[in-house]
Structure 1
Amino acid sequence: MARRRRKNAPTSCASSGRLMRLQKYLARAGVASRRGSEDLIVSGRVRVNGEVVTKLGTTVDPDSAHVEVDRRRIRLKPALWLALNKPPGYTCTRHDPRGRPIIYDLLPAEVRHLPHVGRLDFMSEGLLLLSNEGDVVHRLLHPRTGIERVYHAELRGPVTAGLPDRLRAGVALEDGPARARRARWITPPHASSPTVEIVLAEGRNREIRRMLASLGVTLRTLRRTSFGPIRLGTLAAGATRELSPKERAALERAAAPACSGAVRE
C-alpha cells in the first residue's frame, strides 16, 4: 500500500515545476545572506508548510510554499534587475580580505542584498548586472546558453593590424583554448591608444587580459559595454538603473535555450 504523504509535509515536487533551495528562498526574501539563512535552517527556526525543516538540501516551490522564520511568514520579494556601471578599482565580492573597495559600496542600501551576475575583475569597468532572480541568472551564465559579452579594450599601441584575426583564431591558455567570437578595430592599430572590440560567449576569469598578454599586447583599459541584450549606454560610472520590462523580457528570451523543463536552483 502506498504511503500517504502528510498534508503539510515539505516536498521537493512543485506544481509550478520551478524549485528553489530553501536557503536561497530566504536569502532572496531578504531575511539573511545565503550563509546566514543556512544557519537559520539548521538551528530549527524555519518552517515549511507548518513543519520545522533543518535539512539544507530542502527545496520549495516559491509560488506555493508557506515559509516561516520564527513563526513569521516570509514571502519572496519581486524579481529585481539592476545595471551597474562598475568603475575600475572595485572588486565583485561582498567582503574583500585586502580591504579594497567592493561594488556593494556603490549601491543604495535597499538593494545591497542583490547577487551580481557573473563578475568583472578588479581593474575592469563597465556593465555589471545584479538580480535576485536566480533561475534566470543560472541559465544566463550556463556555458550552453552562449550569452555574448562585448568589451572595448584600449591598448598601449601601436600594435599589429592583424590582432583581431589572431583573437578570432584563438590562443592557448593554461585552462584551455580561448577565442573571440568576433573582434574588430574601433580605433586604428597605429593610433597611440588603439581600441579593439572583443566579443566573448563565455565568462572565464580574466580571459581577455590573458589572451592579450599571450599575444604580447599590453592592455590599458578594459570596459564591458553589453551583456546579452543589455547595453551599458550612457549610464554614469558608479551609477545604477533598474532594467525595463522590455529588457527583462529580452533576458528571459536569451536564457531560454538552456532551459529544458524545471530548473533546480
Structure 2
Amino acid sequence: MRLDKFLAQSSLGRRKNVRTYIKEGRVKVNKEVITKPAMEIKESSDVIEYLDKVVRYTGKVYYMFNKPAGYITARKDTVNKTVFDFFHDVNMEGVFHVGRLDKDTEGLLLMTNDGEFEHQLMYPEKHIEKTYFFWALGFLDEEDMKQLEQGIYIGKGEILTKPAKIEVQKSGMYKEFKHEMPNKDLQNIDSDHYNQPVVSGYLTIKEGRKHQVKRMLKSVGCYVVYLKRVSIGGLMLHESLGKGQYRSLTDVEIQSLFGELR
C-alpha cells in the first residue's frame, strides 16, 4: 500500500494533508524519515510514525449526519457552534467532514476518517450527484428550468455550470404555502397581502462550487430561503434521522457509494 494512502485511511486526515506531512519529513517508516508519498509499505509489518508517535490503524468509520441549520461545517470555530458538537459519544479523532454545507443549510453530511474515500467522493470528474430540496421566493418557468438543466452562468469570470436536474414541487403565492414552509418567519414577505410568489423543488448538481444552488437559482430570479441536502449519489438521508442525529453507514450503503466511485 502507498504510504500516503495508509495515512489517509488511518486517522491523520485528508490525503492532501498527509502528503504535506510526508514531504515535510514528519513521517518515519521503520525509524527512517520518508519524504515520498508514493512509497510502498507493508501495513502489516512496517512501523509507521508521525511526529515520533506510532500510527495505528483503528479502522475506517463512515457516519451519516443530519445537519441542522445554524451550525458551521468545521471542527472548531471561535464564534459559532460546529457540526462536531453533536458527536459526544464517539471518538472523532482523525474524523472529518466530506465537503461542506453552509451555516443555514440543513441535511445530509458525511463524516469519515477515510481520506481516500473523501477525495474520491469530492473529485469533480467523478460527477457524483448531490440533490437539494429548496423553498425560494420567486417562480420558475420552462425557460428558467431549461437554463438550469443546460448550464448557467452564476458569477463573473466563471464557466457555465454543469447540466443539472430541476423538479418543481409546488409553485404559487406565499399565503398558499406559508404553513408548509419549514421556516415560517420569513423576511421580504408582504405581511399585509402575502402576494410574494414562492416555489419549492429539487435541484440536482454534479459539482460543488461555493453557494452553488443558491447562486444558480438566483441567476433565474429566485431567492432561496430554505435549503436541505437530501442525497449524495444513491445515498438518501434517512427519514428516521432527526436534526443533529447521526448513525454509521451500513455495509450496503458503503459498498453502494464505493461502486459509484469506480
TM-score band by shorter chain is: 0.7 to 0.9
Residue type matched to 1:241 in 2?
R
Residue of structure 1 aligned with 2:167, choices 158, 180, 184: 184
1:119-134 aligned at under 5 Å gives the runs 119-134=100-115
| CA–CA separation in structure 1 for the residues paired with 2:12 and 2:141 | 54
When residues 139 and 71 of structure 1 are mapped into structure 2, their CA distance, relative to the original with a 3 A threshold, is: closer
Q: Deviations over 1:183-209 (max 9, x none)?
A: 11122x214242111010111111011
Q: For the residues of structure 2 that align with 1:177 and 1:94, how far apart are their CA atoms? A: 32
Provide the C-alpha distance between the structure 1 equivalents of 2:212 and 2:232, rounded to a whole number of angstroms.
Answer: 15
Say whether the 8 Å CA contact 1:62–1:76 is kept in structure 2: no
- Contact 1:153–1:223 (CA<8 Å) still a contact in 2? yes
Contact 2:133 2:203 in 1 (8 A): yes
The CA deviation string for residues 65-90 of structure 1, in whole angstroms up to 9 with x for no partner, is: 32146876432121110011111111
Structure 1 residues 101 and 57 mapped into 2: Cα distance closer, same or farther (>3 Å)? same
- Quick check: 1:105 aligned with 2:85? yes
In 1: Cα distance, 2:226 partner to 2:128 partner: 22
1:189-233 alpha-carbon deviations (Å, 9 max, x no partner): 214242111010111111011111222211110100000121102
Could you tell me which residue of structure 2 aligns to residue 215 of structure 1?
A: 220
1:1-265 equivalences in 2 (<5 Å): 18-21=1-4, 25=7, 29-30=10-11, 38=21, 42=25, 47-48=28-29, 50-53=30-33, 55=35, 57=37, 59=39, 61=41, 63-64=43-44, 65-68=46-49, 73-97=54-78, 99-108=79-88, 109-111=90-92, 113-157=94-138, 159-162=139-142, 163-174=144-155, 175-187=158-170, 189-192=171-174, 193-234=198-239, 235-256=241-262
3-state SS of the aligned residue for 1:190?
strand
Task: Give the TM-score normalised by the residue count of structure 2.
Answer: 0.76
Letter aligned with residue 129 of structure 2: E
Q: Which AA in structure 2 matches 1:199?
A: T
The separation in 1 between residues aligned to 2:43 and 2:173, in whole angstroms, is: 56
Q: Distance in 2 between matches of 1:191 and 1:62?
A: 64
Structure 1 regions of 5+ residues with no counterpart?
1-17, 257-265
In structure 1, C-alpha distance between the alignment counterparts of 2:51 and 2:164, rounded to whole Å: 51
Q: What displacement does 1:32 show?
A: 8.8
Task: Count residues with an aligned counterpart.
Answer: 229
Question: What CA distance in whole angstroms lies between the structure 1 residues aligned with 2:13 and 2:259?
Answer: 30
| Cα distance change, pair 171–248 in 1 and its aligned pair in 2 (3 A) | same
Residues 112 and 100 (structure 1 numbering): CA distance in 2 closer, same or farther, change over 3 Å?
farther
Say whether the 8 Å CA contact 2:140–2:199 is kept in structure 1. Answer: no
Percent of paired sites with the same residue: 24
1:49-80 superposed Cα distances (whole Å, 9 cap, x missing partner): x2231648575547343214687643212111
Query: Does structure 2 retain, via aligned residues, the 8 Å contact 1:149–1:200?
Result: yes
Q: 1:202 to 1:61 in 2, by over 3 A?
A: farther
CA distance in 1, matches of 2:209, 2:247: 26
Gaps of 5+ in 2: 175-197
User: Structure 1 59/116 Cα, relative in aligned 2: closer, same or farther at 3 Å?
Assistant: farther
